[in-house]
Amino acid sequence: MTFDQAVYLPIYNMTGNPLLNQTMYFLADFLVLLIPASLIYIWLHGQEGKEDSLFAAYSTVAGILFTYFMGLFYAHENPSAFYDTVIAYHPENSFPSQHTTAMFGAAFPLLYRKRDKLGWVILVAAVLTGFSRIYIGEHWPIDILGAVVAGAAGLGIAITTWDKLEPVWTYLVEFGEKAEERTRDIFD
């Protein structure tokens, strides 16, 4: 038995309760919406908030792009190609999980930038996302571990290239501040 099967089968054996199945499906598909909500929230808290929001968004996108690179070197079909899962998916390369990468890709930079409360919330949500994506049959455990690596790689890319792209970030922060001022003027 492979590592994936050894970890997957006990989770697979938990399926069958309609309420739990629906809850896991909801978590698997919709926890990722915490990312834009969190980044917008941070964005609205001054210049440092805007920079932290952009940094986290950049890290997240870099992590997701890194998943495509990882998929070139390792590929396998999702569990629903082999088991009767909660949700049936068309067979495709499921390595690594992009939903879970996005979650870790947002949590890591928030923690790095000392946005601890929100960072820990997103990190817990990332773990729940990974677990629920295994539960519903979209991903194997190795896909989730790959997502952690991709999220960390996204943070590494962001850290090493952030200063080089400072003119872009500076422009975006200034543009955001002007847009907020104009919006306030309209509603005042």
- Is residue 185 scored above 90 in pLDDT? no
- Is residue 60 scored above 90 in pLDDT? yes
What pLDDT, on a 0 to 100 scale, did the predictor assign at position 188? 66
> pLDDT tens digits, residue range 109-130?
999 999 999 999 999 999 999 9
Hey, what domains does the chain have and what are their CATH numbers?
39-173 (1.20.144.10)
Q: Does the global pTM surpass 0.85?
A: yes
- Is residue 88 scored above 80 in pLDDT? no
What pLDDT, on a 0 to 100 scale, did the predictor assign at position 1? 65
Half-sphere exposure of 87 (CA within 13 A, CB side): 20
> pLDDT tens digits, residue range 151-168?
999 999 999 999 898 888
What pLDDT, on a 0 to 100 scale, did the predictor assign at position 104? 98
